Structure 1
Amino acid sequence: MAKFSIQGIESRDVVVIGSGTLGRRVVLVWASQGGSVRLVDSNEQAVKEALTWVEVNLPGRVKAVKGTEGKVTIESSTQKAIKNAWMVVECIPEIQKAKIDLLGQLDQWCPEDTIIAAISSSYNSADLVEKVTEKGRARVVNTHYFQPPELPPVDIMSSGSTNPAIIKLLVAS
């Protein structure tokens, strides 16, 4: 498998698509690491509620993990949000077709060195990549965030095609 590296990770965003219960918790995990996080959702009310929840809970999370408070912004356009992403985490509802479609779009739209993280407790990520190119499948990873967010943050699993260098990078993050 080819090497995988991400250029300028410290100046790039983590993008979370979906502002429901899980999406806002994923934003909280990454925002407590000091970087820039973009939250994408077309539901204005849901994204406002998620942002308020993150703002209330971020100081406690930062203290609990001895982190650094990052910057959280909201975006309604997925294509605009992902232009500067080093990682995109999909947190949309557990609808297999919707996840398949989104991962396929992300594969087309994201920079080639962007990690695409699927979150699903119902589907194996290998079953969600049918619209992702063969080359793109090497950057798809499955993640499982623990709840509540005060627990250690995330399990990282291969989709069956994931470049092992991605898993190493995420473990170190």
Structure 2
Amino acid sequence: MIKTIGVLGAGTMGHGIALSFALHGHDVTLYDTEPGALAHAREQIAEELALLAEEDFIAPADVPATLARIVPRTDLGAAVRDRDYVIEAAPEKLELKQRLLGQLDALCPAHTILASNTSSLPLAAMMTLLDDSRKQRTIVNHWYNPGHLMPIVELSFFGNMPAQIYKEVEDLYASIGKQTVKVLKDVPGLVANRIQQGVAREVFSLIENGVAEPADIDKALKFGPAFRYATTGQLEVADFGGLDIWCVVGDNLLKDMDNSPRANALLRRKVQEGRLGVKSGAGFYDYSGKDLGEIRRTFMRKLIHQLKASEYYA
């Protein structure tokens, strides 16, 4: 049984992953090369736990208890030498991940399962420096941001890992309230990101072509398809609507929809202009003069409310 967890990288994804496991009683080491990053991660985790308590998702007593289960480390060996499961959340650079997994192979006990939070790099290439026994204990586990609120984790089942070890990982995630997606083929983006990019491509195209304003396009998604998607999958929706109807509509619409093989030109222009979204103060919407902290908290509150509701449909 997996009990002890190691998380490498205290950034956006890493701190949320550490929070999730610690909240459910696991002993977690959180590693980063920069002490400042670890200090910032602890502040973020404390703020996010406080918001969970404020929204009655956890008890106030869970906040200090969860924080106490997360031990910061700047020494890699000390962070992983006694771990059952180690997740790397390093930047998406193949050579970096190859080198890091090789280091973990040497530093971790033989029973340790290694995991990468990648969604774009091939598992076989990342495992180049591992021997066959460790390859059988290496997996992709792709979390969605924010990790402590988004219930999905995609898990690779590409043929390198025996079924019983995969089941051990799957059970671990079930124990912390995650919905796992078993991905059978190593394709860029796995499953959820490919679906999301398909929606985003058409949304950006609609804006570029002046079909509707950003607020109305978001409204169409939130109160149209996404309203159903919160509880019902696309294939279920298709079955309820009738596959004959979906076939006819597909023939009528798809030939007129965006099929570009690269990022939308309007999106690229915004990036070039430095309009990156909330973090820069403007994107498709203007956030200048607004409390960005409160905007983020409101975003989190929405996800907490949705997470509460989604437990009924799990």
Instruction: Calculate the TM-score normalised by the size of structure 1.
Output: 0.85
2:76 to 75, 78, 82: 78
Give the secondary-structure state (helix, strand or coil) at the position aligned to 2:84.
Answer: strand
**Percentage of pairs with the same residue:** 27
1:20 aligns with 2:11: yes
User: Would the aligned equivalents of 1:126 and 1:160 in 2 still touch at CA under 8 Å?
Assistant: no
**1:42 aligned partner:** 33
Q: 1:43 to 1:130 in 2, by over 3 A?
A: same
Provide the rounded CA distance (Å) in 1 between the counterparts of 2:152 and 2:119. 16
- The letter for the 2-side match of 1:151 is M
Provide the rounded CA distance (Å) in 2 between the counterparts of 1:146 and 1:51. 20
- Larger proportion of strand: 1
1:56 aligns with 2:44: no
Q: Residue 170 of structure 1: CA displacement?
A: 1.7
- The letter for the 2-side match of 1:164 is A
- The letter for the 2-side match of 1:132 is L
**1:91 aligned partner:** 89
Q: 1:56 to 1:99 in 2, by over 3 A?
A: same
**2:100 aligned partner:** 102
User: Deviation per CA, 1:112-139, whole angstroms, max 9, x where unpaired?
Assistant: 1111001112202122000011111000
Instruction: Calculate the TM-score normalised by the size of structure 2.
Output: 0.48
Which has the larger Rg?
Answer: 2
- The letter for the 2-side match of 1:94 is E
CA RMSD of aligned residues (A): 2.1
Q: 1:159 to 1:106 in 2, by over 3 A?
A: farther
1:157 aligns with 2:156: yes
Provide the rounded CA distance (Å) in 1 between the counterparts of 2:79 and 2:104. 11
**2:133 aligned partner:** 135
Q: Unpaired runs of 5+ in structure 1? A: 1-5
1:116 to 114, 117, 122: 114
- The letter for the 1-side match of 2:156 is M
Provide the rounded CA distance (Å) in 2 between the counterparts of 1:65 and 1:145. 21
Q: 1:74 to 1:159 in 2, by over 3 A?
A: farther
Q: 1:159 to 1:52 in 2, by over 3 A?
A: farther
Provide the rounded CA distance (Å) in 2 between the counterparts of 1:58 and 1:125. 33
Give the secondary-structure state (helix, strand or coil) at the position aligned to 1:48.
Answer: helix
Count of residue pairs the alignment pairs up = 163
Give the secondary-structure state (helix, strand or coil) at the position aligned to 1:84.
Answer: coil
Q: 1:38 to 1:153 in 2, by over 3 A?
A: farther
User: Deviation per CA, 1:93-128, whole angstroms, max 9, x where unpaired?
Assistant: 111101001111111211011110011122021220
Q: 1:159 to 1:118 in 2, by over 3 A?
A: farther
**Higher deviation after alignment, 16-25 or 49-58:** 49-58
Give the secondary-structure state (helix, strand or coil) at the position aligned to 2:119.
Answer: coil
